Amino acid sequence: FRLKMWQAAAGGLLAVVLVNSTLNSVVYSYLDTYSDALGLVERGGTEVAEKLMQAKEQLHYDMVMGHIPTMTQTELSEKLQEIGHELEEEHKVEQLHATANTISDAVVAFLVVATLINYKSAVSKYFKGVSNGFLTLSNTSQAFTLLLVSDTLVGFHSADGWDAVLKALGSHWGAEAESLESPISIFVATVPVGLDVAFRFWVYKELRALSPSTQVILDEIDG
């Protein structure tokens, strides 16, 4: 039965990944074709300007150190213009990928939620089976699993994990790192605390009735 549950979970996850990947490719192709008509891509901006200034400084450095032949002002301007066009193209691709990620993720999330609602009885039965399977584990295995999950989500070093995950998601959806600092700080300062309180309350109210020995183990470890 446990094997079937794992197979069902793996199959569902694989289906979500495949649908998301396929949809993302389709959306990106469409956006790439009609980006100019839709007005989706912004030119350059501060990020591209900073990279272009870095490229200019690097060229000056290479000329001074003799790594490349000395260029005239005209040649330097043409080279910088070429680099600028390349940077703008990279910026365009990044923006299109971020937009495609946002659209495809939103559509897939909607489909997942709609599927869960439509098949709520099957979902409820599945999670009940997971709960029953968890309770068939030994008390030490239950305690180990709960500690692993809780310490990962709300443990001492969990803030670093939340920070890394949220920044990765923000980059995936095209958000600039600077704009994410305050929201991430607020999230890390509140959500893990709420999860920790909810977990402790669940251990106190529910786990002692379901598996008293596991609660004793957890209390001894915390104590």
pLDDT in tens, 76-99: 999 999 998 898 888 888 889 999
Residue 213 has pLDDT above 70, yes or no: yes
- 88 contacts 96 by C-beta, under 8 angstroms: no
Which amino acid would we find at residue 110? F
Helix, coil or strand: residue 68: coil
- Average pLDDT of span 120-143: 88
Contacts of 76 (CB under 8 A, 6+ apart): 56, 59
Quote the tokens at residue 27.
Answer: 């959306």
Measured CA distances, 164 to 46, 147, 156 (Å) = 24, 21, 15
Rounded Cα gap, residues 103 and 93, in angstroms: 15
- Average pLDDT of span 32-61: 79
Quote the tokens at residue 34.
Answer: 């009609």
Rounded Cα gap, residues 75 and 81, in angstroms: 10
pLDDT in tens, 104-113: 999 999 999 9
Quote the tokens at residue 203.
Answer: 């251990």
How many CB atoms are located within 10 Å of the residue 143 CB?
22
Rounded Cα gap, residues 192 and 210, in angstroms: 25
Residue 1 has pLDDT above 60, yes or no: no
- 28 contacts 97 by C-beta, under 8 angstroms: yes
The per-residue pLDDT of the chain, averaged, comes to 87
| Alpha helix (H) residue ranges in 65-176 | 73-118, 120-135, 139-154, 158-172
Q: Phi first, then psi: what are they for 156, rounded to 5°?
A: -60, -40
Contacts of 145 (CB under 8 A, 6+ apart): 134, 137
pTM as predicted: 0.78
pLDDT in tens, 7-37: 888 888 999 999 999 999 999 999 888 877 6
